[in-house]
Chain A
Amino acid sequence: MNAKTADDARAPRALLGRGRAYFFSWLLSTFAVVALGLFDFSKRRLAGQVEPSGLFGYLLFGAFVALLALPALFLLRIVPETSVSSAVRLVRRLFFGFLSGLLLGSLLAALIAAAGKGDDGTLQVLGLVGPLSGLIAGFVDSIALDGRARDARDADSGGGDAPAG
Chain B
Amino acid sequence: MVEPTWRVRLLRRELLQAAGFALLLALFVPVLPRLQRDVAPVRGGNVALSLAGEARDLAHRVGAWLPSLPEWNLPTEPPESLRSWLGALHSDAR
**Which residues of A approach B to under 8 Å, CB–CB?**
33, 36-37, 39-41, 44, 49-51, 54, 56-58, 60-61, 64-65, 67-68, 70-71, 74, 104, 107-108, 111-112, 115, 117-122, 124-128
Contacts and interface: CB of A to CB of B under 8 A. Distances in A.
B17 A57 contact: no
Interface string B45-73: 01111111111001000000000000000
B33 A122 contact: yes
Q: Is the interface of A mostly helix, strand, loop or mixed?
A: helix
A107 B47 contact: no
**Interface size class, chain B:** 20 to 34
A132 to B, nearest CB: 8
Given A37-B50, A39-B54, A60 B35 contact: yes
B29 interface: yes
Given A37-B54, A121-B48, A124-B49, A74 B17 contact: yes
